[in-house]
Amino acid sequence: MTEARITSFREFWPYYLAEHRHPLCRLFHFIGTSGFLAALIHGVITRPQPTLLAFGMIVIANGMASRYIEPVRPARRLILVTALAAMAIAPQAFIPGVIWAYGWAWIGHFKVENNRPATFDYPAWSLIGDFRMYGMMTLGHLWSGDSVREEES
């Protein structure tokens, strides 16, 4: 029997936190997302038009996927095609940024958490979850302890 699919980001967020319980995994995500943002900023400075076009495509595709596809099934195709298009349009920003971000995140999952990244089943919401977690960490939250217990308090 398969598990019921999560149908909203509100339901997904506690699941996402549960997949990132170890502080070291969250640190690896923070390092990865910081590197992605650095590559994105570099792209905006050196080649602003293609970088902003590619970033805009990702934001729009992820928004559509989050709203219309992810509640029903994984939005893998749309997210993958959009990521590949972004890499083709602005390779200087998105190729190193994506490799850096996913490399660090996946080390955290496969070597620290010993779990499968949520990206495989919920790619659009995982991207949103990563940036939400990054924002919380930037504000000083989720650096230590159990992410689920910290969010509940």
- Band (pLDDT 50/70/90 cuts) for residue 3 is confident
Contact 29, 109 (CB under 8 A): no
- Band (pLDDT 50/70/90 cuts) for residue 152 is low
Given a cut of 60, is residue 64 above it in pLDDT?
yes
Residue 143 phi/psi, 5-degree rounding, is -80, -25
Q: Any idea of the CA torsion for 97, 12, 118, 72, to the nearest 10 degrees?
A: -100
Q: What is the pLDDT of residue 83?
A: 96
pLDDT mean over 104-123: 96
pLDDT mean over 117-142: 97
More confident call, 79 vs 145: 79
Q: What is the pLDDT of residue 148?
A: 78
H or E segment to which residue 11 belongs:
helix 9-18
pLDDT mean over 10-17: 97
Q: Any idea of the CA torsion for 88, 94, 96, 102, to the nearest 10 degrees?
A: -120
Given a cut of 60, is residue 112 above it in pLDDT?
yes
Given a cut of 60, is residue 1 above it in pLDDT?
no
Contact 51, 93 (CB under 8 A): yes
Contact 146, 25 (CB under 8 A): no
Given a cut of 50, is residue 39 above it in pLDDT?
yes
Written as six digits, the tokens of 132 are 């939400």
